[in-house]
Amino acid sequence: MFSGIVEALGRVKEIRSEPPGVWLVVREPKIAAESAVADSIAVNGCCLTVVAVEDDAVAFQAGPETLARTNLGRLAPGSPVNLERSLVVGDRLGGHFVSGHIDGTGTLAQRRDEGEWSTFWFALPKLLSRQMAAKGSIAVDGVSLTIVESLPERFSVALIPFTLGVTTLGSLNVGDMVNLETDLLAKYVQRLDEARLWD
């Protein structure tokens, strides 16, 4: 379980082919120094298991399903990634409950920069938008954000200079793909509503 508060911005050091998946090595000295094999770390919001610690980097194995259904399959050496280690019982919850299980991907459709602040509009599958609401929570590439407007096939978020500076979101361009995880509570509400039709 995560909070969507990014701890560090890492860089992809290496991608080793390991058919049918890959061995993903991410450099970030502080995270590497405090991580151990079997730890869970969210990489762009996707929960991965540490399989090795290599000096200033951590390594993960990503299978074909993960590579196809998230933006991790588009990473290349040098790509920046958002990193967050799993929560420890007793930690402050600064964002919202994030499972690290990506629901789908979205695309940056519009970016409006006003000084150091920005408003982003993301396009997303209509099915995902059923689990979203204005003032609700969304994790975009693992970053906990508050939805400003929620429409059937797009939503907007307002980003402060700090978030733009310390996460991958600041370098996004129109057309870039992002990982999306909707609010956990919204999933259960939707499921309960659907279950009424089973009787």
Look at residue 44 and give its three-state secondary structure.
coil
Domains, the chain: 8-85 (2.40.30.20), 104-195 (2.40.30.20)
Q: What is the pTM of this model?
A: 0.94
Render 62-99 in DSSP notation, one character per residue.
Answer: E-HHHHHHSGGGG--TT-EEEEEEPP-TT---SS--B-
In the predicted model, residues of the chain with pLDDT beneath 50 are none
In the chain, the DSSP E strands lie at: 8-18, 21-27, 40-43, 46-54, 57-62, 80-85, 104-114, 117-123, 137-140, 143-151, 154-159, 177-182
* 190 close to 131: Cβ distance less than 8 angstroms: yes
| Residues in the chain, overall count | 199
Is 78 exposed, middle or buried (CB count within 10 Å of its CB: 0-12, 13-18, 19+)? Answer: exposed
**Token pair listed for 108:** 């940056």
pLDDT score recorded for residue 184? 83
The reported pLDDT for the residue numbered 199 is 66
Q: What is the pLDDT of residues 143-152, one digit of tens each?
A: 999 999 999 9
Six-digit token string for 165? 């500076």
Which element (helix H / strand E) includes 26?
Answer: strand 21-27
pLDDT at 189: 80
Q: In this predicted structure, what is the pLDDT of residue 89?
A: 84
What is the pLDDT at residue 175?
Answer: 98
